[in-house]
A and B are shown apart, each in its own frame.
Chain A
C-alpha cells in the first residue's frame, strides 16, 4: 500500500468536482421541498438532463448549449410531474417514483446512438492570479464554470430564502398552503415554478456527470446520485448551507475511497464503495438531530376550496 500517492491538493480539488452533481440536484430539490412539494423524481430528471446535455453537446459542439439543453430537459420532465401533482392532484410519492422510472427509460432510448462517443471537453476556467496561489489556487480556483455556478447557486438560494420577499412567499406556501391561498397567493403557480427550477437544477447536475466527470454516455450513469441528493435535502434539515456541506462530504469520501482503492488498501472494495453513502448519511443524521423540521405542507395535496 502506498498512501504517498494521494496528494491533498488533488484530493480536495477533485472533491469539489465530485460534489457538484449532487449539490446542483440537492439545491434544486431543496427549493421544491421548501415550497411544500416532495418530488422523488430527482434521479429521473438527472439522467434525462445527462442525455439531453450530452446529445446537445455532440450535435452542436458547444458544452454551454449542452448545459442549457440539460436544464431545459430536466425542467420539461419536471413539468410532467407538476401537471400530475398540481393540476391533476395525483399523489406526489407515486408520481415522483414514476418520474424516475420514466426518466431512466427515456434516457436509454434517447441515448442509443450516443454510446461510445466523446463530447467536446468543457474548458477549465482558471481564475487569473488566484489560480496561481500555491495549493489553494489548485484546490479552489482552477475548476470549470459549473463548479462556481453551483456554489453561486447555493449562495443565491440561501439569500433568496432568507432575505427576499419571494423567498418568504415560497416558504409560506410550503408551510401552510391553505393560509397562503387565503391571503391571495397563487399556490399552484408558485409550486409549478419551484418544481421546474428543481427539474432544471437536477438536469444540470446530471449533465455535469455526462459532460465533465465521466465525459461519455452510459445507461443509468447517474447511479443513484438523485437519491443521495434527496436524502441530502432531508438530512440537511432543508438548509442550503448544510446541503453544501453534505455534498462536499459525500464528494470527499467518494474521492478518498477511490484513491484508497488505487493505493491498494487492504479493505474489500465493496466496503470502500459503500462508505460515501454511509458516512454522509451518518453525519447528516447526527446533524439533523436539532429542532428544525420539515415544511409543514410537504407532500400534502393542495385543493383550493372556494
Chain B
C-alpha cells in the first residue's frame, strides 16, 4: 500500500424524506481491497453512485490522488480511472459480448480488434469468454465476467464491485478472488461492497461500515469477527436463528420422476427430479441461478402442471392440480420475485393478503370479498412479522425490499401450511430481517410443517436446512445431510459433479 488513492470527505446526499449519506468520510488506499459494509438502505449504493458520477453530492468533496475529484457524469469518472461492476448487471441481452463491452468504453477500437483484446485480457485473468456470444444466453457468472472485462480493458485505478458474489458458485467465487488479488498486486484499488462477512474477512484489507447513512467505523476485517462486524452494521446484538431440533415425521411431499419442458426460451427444463420432504424437516436446495429453481417452484406451487402422479402430497396425487387446489390441501409457496410474482406491486397490502389467503383464511363468501377480515389478516401479518409500513392500505410497491419480503413470507407462514416451499426467502434483505425470516421458517418446521427452501445463499442453507440437495441444469442431486457436507462437496454438487467453471461450457 502506497498512499491514498481516493479520499472522501464529508459527503452528504439527501433525498426527500431520507438522508442517504450523512457526512461520510474515509480513504481508499492505493492497491488495497476496501470493503464497504452496511444493511439495505444504509447508503452504500448512493455513495458508490456519487463516486461513479451518477449522483451529485449535496455537500462534501472527494480527492483522487490529491487532486479534486467531482465527476459530473460516469464518463468523467471513467476518464479518471474509476470503473464499476454493477449488482444488477448493466448488460444488454440482445447484443453480443463485444458490443456490450464497447458500450462501456470511452473510445472503443473497431469491434474486430476489440474481440481480440477481449480474448487476450480474459485469458490473462483466467476468465474465459467468447466475444461473439449473445449475452442473453450467458450464465450469471459469465455475465459478471463481461462486466469485469469491460472494466479491465480501461485500466482502472479504482474498481467498484457491488455484491459481486451473490450469483456465483463457490468455485466461481474462488476464481473471482484470484482475479481480484492479482489486480491488487498490480496496484489497482478495489472498493468491494458485500453482505457476506466471511468473504470480506478473507479478501479485504480494510472495511468501512455504514449504518443509516453514517460511517460508524473502520476496521481491519482480518482481526474482527464476522459477528462483531454484523453488530456494527445492525447497531445491536444479532439473534442467531435456532432450530427446534425435532425429529422428522411422516413423508409429506413426495416428488418422483418430475420432468417438465422449459417454459420459456431462456428457461430450464426439469429433468427427472426426485425428492422427499418429511414433516418437521427443512430441505435446502442450492444451485446457481437459472438451473431450474424458478421452474421447480412453479411445478410445486401448481403454476405449471405436471403429470398426475409426479407430485404427491400426503399420499394423494396432486401433480395435475392448480395452485388454489393445492393451497386448499395445505401446500403453500412463496416465489422469488417479490414485485410482480409474490405480490402485485400496485395493489395494497390488504389486497395482496387476499390474493393468496382467500382460500385458507376464509376471506371470501360466495365470491364476495370480506374486506374487514382481509384487513385484519394483513394487519396480523404486519404485526407478527414486524413489517415497517404505515398500514395495510399502502401499495406493495411502497415497501422496501426487506419489508415486503417479510410480508410475503409472513403471509404464507400465517396460513398454517403443512408444506411450505420458498424460493430465495432472504434475497436482497438485510441481516436482521433475514434472521427474522429464517427464524420464522425454523419455527414453522419446529411445529411440524415440512419446509423446502430454495436459495442461492449457501450460508443460509447451512444455517436452516437439515438436508441439502443441489439443482444443476434442471437435475436435482441426491439429498445429503447438511452436517456431513464440506463446501467443496457442495460446490461439486452444484456444478453437477464436474469441476469448476467450465461446467457451463461443457454442458452448453
User: Which positions in A face B, CB cutoff 8 Å?
Assistant: 165, 168-169, 171-172, 175-176, 178-180, 182-185, 293, 295-296, 306
CB A23 to nearest CB in B, in angstroms, measures 25
Q: Please, which residues of chain A bring their CB within 8 A of the CB of B86?
A: 182
In the complex, the answer to whether B73 meets A184 with C-beta atoms within 8 Å is yes
0/1 per residue, B71-83, Cβ < 8 Å to A?
A: 0011100100000
Which B residues are in CB contact (< 8 Å) with A293?
A: 94
Task: Kindly list chain A residues whose C-beta atoms are within 8 Å of the C-beta of B91.
Answer: 176, 179
Contact A306 B54 (CB under 8 A): yes
Contact B90 A183 (CB under 8 A): yes
* Contact residues of B between 457 and 471, Cβ < 8 Å to A: none
Establish whether residues A306 and B55, one from each chain, have CB atoms under 8 Å apart when the complex forms. Answer: yes
Are B99 and A168 closer than 8 Å at their CB atoms? yes
Please, could you name 21 A-B residue pairs with CB atoms under 8 Å apart, sorted by A? A165-B102, A165-B108, A168-B103, A169-B103, A171-B92, A171-B95, A172-B99, A176-B90, A176-B93, A179-B89, A179-B92, A182-B54, A182-B74, A183-B103, A184-B73, A184-B75, A184-B78, A295-B94, A296-B94, A306-B46, A306-B54
In whole angstroms, how far apart are the Cα atoms of A296 and B93 in the complex? 9
**With A168-B103, A169-B103: A182-B92 Cβ-Cβ less than 8 Å:** no
Of all chain B residues, the one with the shortest Cβ separation from A184 is B74
Q: Least Cβ distance of A160 to chain B in Å?
A: 14
From A169, A172, A176, A295, residue with most partner B Cβ within 10 Å: A172
**Most chain-A CB neighbours within 10 Å: which of B73, B89, B91, B92?**
B92
Q: Contacts of B89 on A, CB cut-off 8 Å?
A: 179
Contact with A along B194-220 (1 / 0, CB 8 A): 000000000000000000000000000
Q: Are A184 and B53 in contact (CB under 8 A)?
A: yes
Bound CA–CA A184/B55 (angstroms):
11
Residues B55 and A172 in contact, CB atoms below 8 Å apart: no
Residue of B with least CB distance to A291: B265
> Does residue B417 face the partner (Cβ distance < 8 Å to A)?
no
Most buried by A among B73, B86, B91, B94: B94
For chain B, residues 22 to 52, give those with C-beta under 8 angstroms from any C-beta of chain A.
Answer: 46, 49
Chain A residues with CB below 8 A from B104, complex form: 183
In whole angstroms, what is the CA distance A201 to B55 when docked? 37
Expressed in whole angstroms, the Cα–Cα distance for A183 and B99 within the complex equals 13
Given A165-B102, A171-B95, A183-B103, is A306 in contact with B49 using a C-beta cutoff of 8 Å? yes
In addition to A176-B91, A178-B90, 16 A-B residue pairs with Cβ atoms within 8 Å of each other are: A165-B108, A171-B94, A171-B95, A175-B92, A175-B95, A176-B90, A176-B93, A179-B90, A179-B92, A182-B54, A182-B86, A183-B74, A183-B90, A184-B74, A306-B46, A306-B55
Cross-interface CB contact of B103 among A172, A296, A306, cutoff 8 Å: A172
A-binding residues in B (CB < 8 A): 15, 46, 49, 53-55, 73-75, 78, 86, 89-95, 99, 102-104, 108
CA distance A182 to B78 in the complex (A): 12
Q: How far is the CB of A68 from chain B (nearest CB, A)?
A: 34
Shortest C-beta distance, A295 to chain B (Å), equals 8
Cα–Cα distance between A184 and B89 once the two chains are bound (Å): 14
Cβ-defined contact, B54 with A175, below 8 A: no
Whole-angstrom CA separation of A169 from B99 in the bound complex: 10
In whole Å, how far is A303's beta carbon from the nearest beta carbon of chain B?
13
A217 to B102, CA, bound (A): 49
Q: Top 5 nearest A-B pairs by Cβ distance?
A: A184-B74, A179-B90, A175-B92, A182-B90, A184-B75
Residue in chain A with minimal CB distance to B15: A306
CA distance A285 to B144 in the complex (A): 37
Looking at A176, A178, A185, the one whose CB has the most chain B CB atoms below 10 A away is: A176
Least CB distance from A159 to B in Å reads 14
- When C-beta atoms are compared, the residue in chain B nearest to A169 turns out to be B103
- Most A CB contacts (10 A, CB to CB) among B53, B78, B93, B103 go to B103
Q: A182-B86, A183-B74, A306-B54 are in contact. Are A172 and B95 (CB under 8 A)?
A: yes
Residues from chain A with Cβ under 8 Å of B94 in the complex? 171, 175, 293, 295-296
In the complex, which residues of chain A have a beta carbon less than 8 angstroms from the beta carbon of B95? 168, 171-172, 175
Q: Which residues from chain B contact A295 at a C-beta distance below 8 Å?
A: 94
Residues of B within 8 A of A183 (CB): 74, 90, 103-104
In the complex the two chains form, is B93's CB within 8 Å of A175's CB?
A: yes
| Residue from the list B49, B74, B102 in contact with A168, Cβ < 8 A | B102
- Whether A176 touches B54, Cβ cut-off 8 Å, given contacts A165-B108, A168-B99, is no
Q: A196: shortest Cβ distance to chain B, in Å?
A: 23
Q: How far is the CA of A165 from the CA of B103 in the complex (A)?
A: 8
Q: Give the Cβ gap from B114 to chain A, nearest Cβ, in Å.
A: 11
**Bound-state Cα–Cα, A171 to B99, Å:** 10
When C-beta atoms are compared, the residue in chain A nearest to B150 turns out to be A183
Nearest residue, chain A, Cβ from B49: A306
Q: Which one of A165, A175, A185 has the greatest number of beta carbons of chain B within 10 Å?
A: A175
Chain B: minimal CB distance from A306 (Å): 5
Q: Which A residues are in CB contact (< 8 Å) with B102?
A: 165, 168
Give A233 to B188 CA distance when docked, in angstroms: 47
Closest to A186 in B: B73
CB-CB under 8 A from A179, the residues of chain B are: 89-92
Interchain CA distance A180-B95 in the complex, whole Å: 13
| CB proximity of A168 to chain B, nearest CB, Å | 6
Question: When chains A and B are docked, how far (Å) is the Cα of A296 from the Cα of B266?
Answer: 14
The answer to whether B103 touches A176 (Cβ under 8 A) is no
